[in-house]
Amino acid sequence: MHFSVLLPKVRPLRRSTLASLLVLLVGLVGCGRTNVVSIDGSSTVFLLSAAIAEEFNEVSPDVKVVVSQAGTGGGFKKFAAGEIQICDASRPITEAEAAACKKNGIEFIKLEVAFDGLAVVVNPANDWCDSITTDQLKTIWRAEAAQSVMKWSDVNPDWPDIELELYGPGTDSGTYDYFTEVINGEAKSSRQDYSPSESDNALVQGVAGDKGSLGYFGLGYYAENTDKLKLLSVDSGDGPIIPTAATVRDGTYKPLARPLYLYVRQDALRNEGVVKYLNYYLDKVNDVSPRVGYVPVPDEVMEANRKTLDAAVPRVAVN
Amino acid sequence: MSSLPRNGRPYAKLASQLFAYACAACAFSSVAILVLLLSQMLRFAWGWLDWQFITSFDSQLSPDKAGVRAALVGSIYLIALTTLFSVPIGVGSAIYLEEYAQRSRWRGIVQTNIANLAGVPSIVYGILGLGLFVRGMQMGAGVLAGALTLTLVVLPIVILASQEALRAVPSTIRQASYALGATRWQTVWHQLLPAALPGIMTGVILALSRALGEAAPLVAIGAAGFVMFTPRGINDSFTALPLQIYNWTENANDDFRIHVAAAGIIVLMVMLICLNATAVFLRYRFGKRIHW
């Protein structure tokens, strides 16, 4: 029976179209997971891990490296849940996070891959402040400063009566954890009436746009924006020190220099791709660090990293 | 011809003309914004958008080596899978609601719900996708989970558009079909669907262009930030154009933040314009064949 003779002249849906869609679906499902190294965590360490992944891809294109940046806290959550193999961290793992890993049966090793200085920056139009003491930083950033330390003159009477506009990383950031711990004395204890952003660029833009601004973030971001920002020296009692590669490495820029870590799942080291990537990482990281504004680790630390890694790799996978 | 209009209001004609100009200005302002955006992006992307940009993977350190390959392929995968999931479910729901469901209170509730779901912000679907697909069903943040999440985002739009298209088919067609003894299935498959097809396709394509531009739900499910490969299977990690552009705008380096990101935006816009042009073409092409 052909009603179409009488009714609208349109073609019914073609069966071949449906069939080809089905074939596409089956084809897609048929492919399995490829050899993947999954990394998430600190946006500070992301720069290193991604840059090394890029070069690694040229020598070992068969190993697929995926790098994301959920923040150190977010990374450890995924790490403890077993969703990723490597966690980029800009602070050591906390007891609570380590307990979460243990509960899920996740053992790990820690590799120290670089040093990062935290830069305290102000607007270039700021002509009253070249250096700041850690006590003044605490006066500005401690929790009690909220709604009370609002002007530069509140910190130091010699400074002008200009609104203090504060910019800093958000609470999921390892930079935030580290800064609050060494400056305010307790991790995550900070005034909250500042402009937070997980995006370091947003912080750069914020500080660059306000005469009375002050902000802190990784030194690497300052290095890319020297024309928009003014870097402050930090005085922790031994005189003002400007952060440079030398002062970050030898520890004189304190307390705002910190080590950066990779946390690696022990059982991920059964995956040959992970081992290859990590070995490549340790070979290259000291070359890459200065290019993204970080400071290489000394040779003895690198040696210790290699020992840790070698000891953790199961014999079978090394070949 | 009299200088005063008959209703006695001397400025009525002038007001009428001014109103026309005002409306025209409104219409042109939207075009002006598009032109401004495109020209600005083209200016920033000039010299950066070349074949190398299309065929290379992202780079972390060298802006001149960076490219959209992974993101472009990821987006194409996502859109293909999203189409595959959203069209059958969406059109099926629309057929049920329009052709089968009784006008009951239950149908009213479903209908209202669908209309409301169409207005839910996409980040909410992203969180649902993270809980349901990535964690609950253990899919990981692969292409499949991404496409299913985007399906959630566009499904209400596809259903509503398909319903509109089915409703636009004259009821005489249904009656004629039934009068000739066709079953409901035959009526739907041979008469209604072909007649409604241009409308459905337009709706689907517009919904897909929305899916193509979504970054928020993909960020929520934890799609990758930096990948140097294209997905081979549906569980592979991926990145997509809007995500890639977002990541570039986050880079500390101005070349990435301004020029490479602008080049990525041009690629995304070209894809969107192609999709929308397909919608226009399909409507024109298939629309012509229907004679009632």
pLDDT digits (tens, 9 = 90+) for B136-159: 888 878 889 999 999 999 999 999
Q: Which residue in the block uniquely carries the two structure tokens 């993909």?
A: B218
Inform me whether the pLDDT recorded for B203 exceeds 80.
yes
Nearest-by-CA chain A residue for B134:
A83
pLDDT at B151: 94
**What does the pLDDT look like over A194-235, one tens digit per residue?**
998 877 888 998 999 989 999 998 887 888 888 999 999 999
How far is A110 from B123, CA to CA, in rounded Å?
34
**What does the pLDDT look like over A166-181, one tens digit per residue?**
999 988 787 888 899 8
pLDDT at B4: 53
Which of B6-20, B74-88, B254-268 tops mean pLDDT?
Answer: B74-88
Question: Where are chain A's structural domains?
Answer: 36-115+259-318, 117-257
pLDDT at B53: 83
The band of A21, judged by pLDDT with boundaries at 50, 70 and 90, is low
Residues from chain B that touch A32, judged by Cβ atoms under 8 A, are 233, 235
Q: Which of residues 30-49 of B touch A (CB under 8 A)?
A: none
Closest to A223 in 3D by CA, of A306, A144, A117: A117
Inform me whether the pLDDT recorded for A1 exceeds 80.
no
Closest to B90 in 3D by CA, of B21, B158, B22: B158
User: In this complex, is the C-beta atom of B219 within 8 Å of any C-beta atom belonging to chain A?
Assistant: no
What spatial distance separates the first Cα and last Cα of chain B, rounded to whole Å? Answer: 44
Which tops the pLDDT comparison, B252 or A24? B252
How far is B254 from B260, CA to CA, in rounded Å?
9
In this complex, do B224 and A10 lie within 8 Å of one another by their Cβ atoms?
no
- Mean pLDDT for all residues in chain A: 84
Task: Indicate the residue of A3, A36, A57 with minimum beta-carbon distance to B177.
Answer: A3
Here the tokens at position B123 are 């980040």
CA B177 from centre of chain: 34
Which tops the pLDDT comparison, A317 or B285? B285
The band of A8, judged by pLDDT with boundaries at 50, 70 and 90, is very low
Q: What's the mean pLDDT in A38-57?
A: 89
Q: What is the CB neighbour count within 10 angstroms for residue A273?
A: 20
pLDDT at A17: 57
Among B64, B201, B228, the residue to mutate for chain A (most A Cβ within 10 A):
B228
Q: What's the mean pLDDT in B20-34?
A: 92
Which tops the pLDDT comparison, A12 or B65? B65
Q: How many residues does chain B have?
A: 292
Among B139, B178, B227, the residue to mutate for chain A (most A Cβ within 10 A):
B227
How far is B123 from B87, CA to CA, in rounded Å?
22
**Burial level of A20, CB count in 10 A (0-12/13-18/19+)?**
exposed
Q: What phi, psi does A131 have (nearest 5°)?
A: -145, 155
The band of A102, judged by pLDDT with boundaries at 50, 70 and 90, is very high
How far is B125 from B286, CA to CA, in rounded Å?
33
Nearest-by-CA chain B residue for A225:
B252
What spatial distance separates the first Cα and last Cα of chain A, rounded to whole Å? Answer: 71
Closest to A187 in 3D by CA, of A268, A97, A88, A86: A97
Closest to A54 in 3D by CA, of B197, B226, B79: B226
Task: Indicate the residue of A47, A83, A221 with minimum beta-carbon distance to B60.
Answer: A47
CA A195 from centre of chain: 19
In this complex, do B197 and A67 lie within 8 Å of one another by their Cβ atoms?
no
Smallest CA–CA distance, residue A41 to chain B, in Å, is 11
Q: Which residue in the block uniquely carries the two structure tokens 């081992």?
A: A275
Q: Under CATH, what is the fold of the domain A36-115+259-318? A: D-Maltodextrin-Binding Protein; domain 2 (3.40.190)
Inform me whether the pLDDT recorded for A97 exceeds 50.
yes
The band of A265, judged by pLDDT with boundaries at 50, 70 and 90, is very high
pLDDT at B5: 53
Here the tokens at position B17 are 């003309």
How far is B118 from A97, CA to CA, in rounded Å?
39
In this complex, do A67 and B226 lie within 8 Å of one another by their Cβ atoms?
yes
Identical fold, A36-115+259-318 and A117-257: yes
How far is B71 from B74, CA to CA, in rounded Å?
5
Smallest CA–CA distance, residue B194 to chain A, in Å, is 6
Nearest-by-CA chain A residue for B225:
A68
User: In this complex, is the C-beta atom of B194 within 8 Å of any C-beta atom belonging to chain A?
Assistant: yes
Inform me whether the pLDDT recorded for A319 exceeds 80.
no
The band of B36, judged by pLDDT with boundaries at 50, 70 and 90, is very high
Inform me whether the pLDDT recorded for A83 exceeds 80.
yes
pLDDT at A168: 92
pLDDT at A272: 87
Smallest CA–CA distance, residue A168 to chain B, in Å, is 15
**What does the pLDDT look like over B61-83, one tens digit per residue?**
788 888 888 889 889 999 999 99
Residues from chain A that touch B170, judged by Cβ atoms under 8 A, are none
Which tops the pLDDT comparison, B222 or B218? B218
**DSSP states of chain A as a string?**
--GGGTS---PPPPHHHHHHHHHHHHHHHHS----EEEEEE-HHHHHHHHHHHHHHHHH-TTSEEEE----HHHHHHHHHTT--SEEEESSPPPHHHHHHHHHTT--EEEEEEEEEEEEEEE-TT--S-SEEEHHHHHHHHSGGGTTT--BHHHH-TTS-S-B-EEEE--TT-HHHHHHIIIIISSTT---S-SEE-S-HHHHHHHHHT-TTEEEEEEHHHHHHTTTT-EEPEEESSS-EE---HHHHHTT-S-SSEEEEEEEEEGGGGGSHHHHHHHHHHHHHHHHHHHHTT-BPPPHHHHHHHHHHHHHHS-HHHH-
Inform me whether the pLDDT recorded for A27 exceeds 60.
no
Smallest CA–CA distance, residue A109 to chain B, in Å, is 23
User: In this complex, is the C-beta atom of B232 within 8 Å of any C-beta atom belonging to chain A?
Assistant: yes
Smallest CA–CA distance, residue A118 to chain B, in Å, is 15
How far is A46 from B230, CA to CA, in rounded Å?
20
Inform me whether the pLDDT recorded for A318 exceeds 50.
no
Which tops the pLDDT comparison, A16 or A299? A299
Residue B136 exposure: Cα atoms within 13 Å on the Cβ side: 8
pLDDT at A132: 93
Which CATH number, 3.40.190.10, 3.40.1390.10, 1.10.357.10, 3.40.800.20, labels domain A117-257?
3.40.190.10
